[in-house]
Chains A and B, each alone.
Chain A
Amino acid sequence: MAERRTRYARDPLGLKRALSDRLLPGLVAAMALLAALALAGSRGAAALKDRWQQGAAAAVTVQLPPEQAARMDDALSLLRAMPGVAAAEAVDSARMRELLRPWLGEVPALPLPSVLELRLENLSIDPAPIGRQLAEAVPGAELEAHGIWVARLAALARSVQGVALAVLALVVGVAVAVVAVATRAGLASRRQAIEILHDLGATQGDIAGRFARRIGLLAAGGALAGAALAVPTLGAMASLAAPLSGGVVQPWSALPWLDLLLLPPVAGAIGWATAQFSVRRWLKRLP
């Protein structure tokens, strides 16, 4: 009996029934799952972008065979004069050794090819004609353009990140709308009770607070479920993406745990604030 009393005392508006614990948490769980995927997508794209942008520093390299090493300056001036080439620089032998050490170890005696780095004016320029023209002038010169592909992938990762953030913003917007609709439904079904409480001297803050606490709690619970559902999905995706970002395969540490942990409190805060706003606006009609 005492238990029943305290339960009623905490809920004079009957919100446990007016704001059911099924629909709103279910919708918020689905949106939290989407938000978690978007967040993970954005973080993953950002990591790939950073990695690829470093790799793309030398977009295009040109190799001259050792016997043509003397013609380095000819090759440089030829390349610099070509349309589409923004810059061309020789890679000095110290840096060459640095670059090759992981592959060849310390081998100062080895005859190293002469290497040039090119920067093209933009990523859409086709490097193949440049290579052909150079090979006519300096036989044996070879052009290596994989850096262009890496740079194009980095640009793709950048736009994937942008899309993921836009999806996130959309999910937040839809969440606010869903909470506002749920609050309005609750207000409509408890209209009489609200008017009675108001006439008995309840403050706006009291009434709005009851709605906001209930809805904040439901939203946080839904988001917790959504975040939990996201964990296995993201784990699988992380183990697929790990090799691409150059990491060791460690799916559990690769998950955006902080983002997942923040989802429930953020969803709760969004629900609380939206309910406060909707109820206070509705209460303006009462004197």
Chain B
Amino acid sequence: MVRFTAVGLRYPSPDGQEGPEALADLTFTLPEGSFTWLLGASGAGKSSLLRLMHLALLPTRGELEVLGVRVNAARRGALPALRRRIGVVFQDFRLLPYLSAFDNVALPLRLAGRSEASLRPDVTEMLRWVGLQGKELSLPQQLSGGEQQRIAIARAVVTRPALLVADEPTGNLDSHQARRLLALLAQMNRLGTTVVVATHSEDLVEQFPAQALLLEDGRVVHHG
């Protein structure tokens, strides 16, 4: 479950002063096991909201609860374990450039302390699922944008997270691959994962009707 209560987020401006609020007065709840589309124009604050959800940023005001943990009140030392229960597809992928496709996907499992022998089948299967079998040893710069995006997706879901946060996960995919990805997300959601997907693609939303959260200028203007 994810619960926002009067959450605001302010990025620091370059001169060290406080900037304007990128997000303001966000109050909503995403129930456990729900699927939510996050919609809004470019610059509306979708990525910022997702950064709060996967704890890359902390709210500058308000209360945030993620997977049963009240983030504001939590010890700093408790956050890494919480982050490892969240899968993230970043808008800009954020792959490690000097790690192979295999090692990029294996990274969250290794951070969780999984043994090399036990993580190998999971990583290989995940790479096959996103259609990258045979590219295990390629470095990100040797892959196309869509292939990089699929590595980012594989890395996000390989740990079977309790919360999956995807920021424009189909931006570089063709329509066939986008449908495949959607099927993957839907299946994970059926198995109990809470899924939040930010997208500009109306096609995608039409294919999988679910509740939507519409952002405008950093505020929620529609939820349902």
A interface with B by C-beta (< 8 Å): 1, 4-6, 8-9, 12, 14, 17, 192-193, 196-197, 199-204, 206, 287
Contacts and interface: CB of A to CB of B under 8 A. Distances in A.
A4 B139 CA distance: 13
Contacts of B96: 12, 14, 193, 196
B116 A206 contact: no
Interface stretch (B107-115, B126-134, B169-177, B209-217): B107-115
22 contacts: A1-B137, A4-B100, A4-B137, A6-B116, A9-B116, A12-B96, A12-B103, A14-B99, A17-B98, A192-B94, A196-B94, A197-B111, A199-B55, A200-B84, A200-B88, A200-B108, A200-B155, A201-B83, A201-B84, A201-B108, A201-B111, A203-B77
Nearest to B103: A8
B80 interface: yes
A202 B102 CA distance: 18
Given A196-B94, A201-B111, A201-B112, A8 B80 contact: no
B58 interface: yes
B103 A199 contact: no
Interface of B: 54-58, 76-77, 79-84, 86, 88, 94, 96, 98-100, 102-103, 106-108, 110-112, 116, 137, 155
Contacts of B57: 287
A6 B58 CA distance: 35
Given A17-B98, A200-B108, A5 B56 contact: no
A199 B106 contact: no
Contacts of B110: 9, 12
A197 B55 CA distance: 13
A12 to B, nearest CB: 6
B99 to A, nearest CB: 6
Contact of B80 (A4, A9, A201): A201
Given A5-B102, A8-B100, A12-B96, A200 B107 contact: yes
A9 B110 CA distance: 8
Given A4-B137, A199-B54, A199-B88, A9 B103 contact: yes
Nearest to A206: B111
Contacts of A200: 83-84, 88, 107-108, 111, 155
Given A1-B137, A9-B110, A12-B107, 11 more contacts: A4-B137, A5-B102, A8-B99, A12-B96, A12-B103, A196-B94, A199-B56, A199-B83, A200-B84, A204-B77, A287-B76
Contacts of B79: 287
Contacts of B76: 287
Contacts of B137: 1, 4
Contacts of A206: 111
A285 to B, nearest CB: 11
A203 B107 contact: no
A14 B137 CA distance: 16
A1 to B, nearest CB: 7
Nearest to B100: A8
B106 A9 contact: yes
A14 B95 CA distance: 13
Q: Which 10 residue pairs spanning A and B have beta carbons closest together?
A: A201-B84, A201-B83, A203-B80, A14-B98, A8-B103, A287-B58, A201-B80, A199-B56, A196-B94, A200-B108
Nearest to B113: A206
Contacts of A201: 80-84, 86, 108, 111-112
A134 B116 CA distance: 92
Contacts of A14: 96, 98-99
B141 to A, nearest CB: 14
Contacts of B102: 5
